[in-house]
Structure 1
């Protein structure tokens, strides 16, 4: 199935989701997660003149979330290269035949500031929602720990989200914003 035509303009941001074929795992061990993260960096370098910026990400066992900003091109080139390179690595390592990813990828245009904030929170809370961890900072394969200052930033542009919070305390305020959703959902349960 072809990816629907993308509504693109310079500066557009998208929530990209790539899912394993038949919802199968696309990451089987820590090396796999690390290779995918390395390929994100390599793809950003490869397309440096396209000026893609990864805002945040979360790699789950059977799917990936990436919030990306585009400048000179739609996100398709970046995502196709990233997923193609990873599929080649995965297929070789596991002697896998066939499509690793279901369809090509799903994209959702971010249309306003509220949607941008909600999407970053949704991405960072994905492992909590899946009951893989209790707190988002416990999950190793997302950009959340970079956002809250536990890990040094690498290959992301947290400023595109943190700018919505008071500069002196933006990381603490972002953490409160994300974790408030956990408290609300537990209270509603």
Structure 2
């Protein structure tokens, strides 16, 4: 494992990025995307007493009892401000809450997903690049623009048309637009910079401003 230049400090927000080995796809079907969404929610807490694969085997009553007893009282490692999953890479905006929280969260989440993916698709070997990339967000202005960059990824990568971006399920954008509720997304701070949900939507769709600001935040984003 290589040396990480970026220091991951408590109460700081980071743009996190990782992609498949040799740029290979890390998702093959809808259930793969859904699994990683579930893992984000599960491993944001410190030391879950069960592996997620074991948690999945519980019946609905047992899951609720487990969640109420352990998870709701557990300390979070990170706050997840936003995310977007693409066929061969992922983006996250994370705030570190506990010491080494981001590193522990990423290791638990990606290791669990890799085991699931390899078992499900009869595959062996690493799925992700060895080290995830991280860059610290230094201002509120950077925060809102990097968040927009993350949410626009499906459009800029030609996966969906602009008008259908809100229908892209593997992103926190539907939550930001009020189209659904994703309980683990801590969106309130970013949305507080806008007068309304409609204000955020207009900001998202402002192509001229987006292209201009892209140059200003290029040191905060990553090549695919």
Match of 1:181 among 186, 200, 207: 207
**CA distance 1:101–1:3, change in 2 (3 Å):** farther
- Matched residues in 2 for 1:103 and 1:67: separation? 19
Higher alpha-carbon Rg: 2
Structure 1 residue 96 displacement after superposition: 1.0
Question: 1:85 and 2:122 equivalent?
Answer: no
- Corresponding residue number in structure 2 for 1:95: 122
Structure 1 residue 50 displacement after superposition: 4.2
Question: 1:126 and 2:143 equivalent?
Answer: no
Decide whether the 8 Å contact of 1:3 with 1:103 is kept in 2: no
Question: 1:16 and 2:30 equivalent?
Answer: no
- Matched residues in 1 for 2:39 and 2:96: separation? 18
Match of 1:143 among 143, 147, 172: 172
Where has structure 1 moved over 4 Å in runs of 4 or more?
182-185
- Corresponding residue number in structure 2 for 1:152: 181
Tell me, what secondary structure is at the counterpart of 1:97? coil
The alignment of Structure 1 onto Structure 2 pairs a total of residues equal to 182
- Corresponding residue number in structure 2 for 1:165: 194
Tell me, what secondary structure is at the counterpart of 1:103? coil
Structure 1 residue 22 displacement after superposition: 0.5
TM-score scaled by length of structure 2? 0.76
RMSD: 1.7
| Runs of 5+ unmatched residues, structure 2 | 48-73, 212-224
- Give deviations 1:100-138, integer Å, cap 9, x for gaps: 002221111111111101110000000000011112213
- Matched residues in 2 for 1:45 and 1:176: separation? 34
- Corresponding residue number in structure 1 for 2:215: none
Decide whether the 8 Å contact of 2:26 with 2:127 is kept in 1: yes
More strand by share: 1
- Matched residues in 1 for 2:210 and 2:44: separation? 36
**CA distance 1:3–1:158, change in 2 (3 Å):** farther
Question: 1:65 and 2:91 equivalent?
Answer: yes
Tell me, what secondary structure is at the counterpart of 1:58? strand
Tell me, what secondary structure is at the counterpart of 1:104? coil
- Matched residues in 2 for 1:52 and 1:61: separation? 24
TM-score scaled by length of structure 1? 0.90
Structure 1 residue 183 displacement after superposition: 8.1
